[in-house]
């Protein structure tokens, strides 16, 4: 079975990357591939799995909140129709791929799927909020999947700033992309 989604992970060599990658190995559905882009750094010991590819880049992102430049450089390496994003200090929940497949089967014309992010183990802080069907600055994160063809056709790229995820989604919206909001919590922020 070929992969349905590619997970792009920019890394500045944090020790947390091992936990991030191990969360991929715990996914209930193995229909994924991942590309880790090391941004001019020495990586921690890699997790070995044939679905995880490592790319070593010259320093392009500049460090904290500059993962967008690394993500942009990884776009051409994506061979699946869909891509999603994960930071090197965050984790996916085991239901990520299944939730993704359910959403794109329910809305086959979607260009982007936004999933909920949890900021603690009790899910007491979740963004976007459960009742939200729109995104706002500081209430959305990098927990979304997007069609590669839509990005390519509309030349959408990340900007180098602290709100790169919000502005990326704004570009999708302004380009007429169909954005759907999943009720599923699939992304853990720093735990």
The mean pLDDT value of the chain amounts to: 92
Element (H, E) at 41: none
Phi/psi at 20 (nearest 5 deg)?
Answer: -60, -50
Q: What is the pTM of this model?
A: 0.94
Q: To the nearest whole percent, how much of the chain has pLDDT over 70? A: 97
In this prediction, residue 61 carries a pLDDT of 59
Q: Which of 179, 25, 35, 174 is nearest to 103 (CA)?
A: 179
Q: What confidence category does residue 144 fall into, taking pLDDT thresholds of 50, 70 and 90?
A: very high
7-46, pLDDT tens digit by residue? 999 998 889 999 999 999 999 999 999 999 988 887 777 7
Q: What are phi and psi of 47, to 5 degrees?
A: -85, 125
Task: Go through the domains of the chain in sequence order and give each one's CATH number.
Answer: 5-188 (3.90.550.10)
């Amino acid at each position: 079975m070929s992969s349905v989604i590619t997970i792009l992970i920019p890394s500045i060599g944090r020790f947390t990357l091992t936990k991030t990658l191990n969360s991929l190995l715990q996914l209930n559905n193995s229909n994924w591939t991942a590309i880790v882009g090391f941004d001019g750094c020495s990586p921690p010991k890699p997790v070995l799995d044939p679905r995880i590819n490592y790319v070593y880049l010259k320093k392009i992102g500049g460090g904290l909140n500059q993962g967008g430049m690394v993500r942009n450089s990884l776009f051409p390496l994506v061979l699946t129709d869909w891509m999603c994003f994960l930071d090197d200090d965050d984790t996916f929940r085991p239901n990520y791929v299944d939730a993704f497949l359910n959403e794109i089967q329910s809305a086959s014309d979607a260009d982007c799927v936004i999933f909920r992010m949890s900021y603690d183990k009790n899910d007491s802080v979740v963004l976007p909020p459960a009742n939200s069907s729109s995104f706002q600055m500081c209430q959305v994160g990098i927990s979304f999947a997007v069609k590669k063809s839509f990005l390519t056709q509309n030349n959408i790229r990340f900007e180098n700033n602290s709100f790169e995820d919000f502005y990326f989604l704004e570009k999708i919206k302004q380009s007429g992309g169909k954005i759907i909001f999943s009720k599923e919590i699939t992304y853990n922020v720093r735990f």
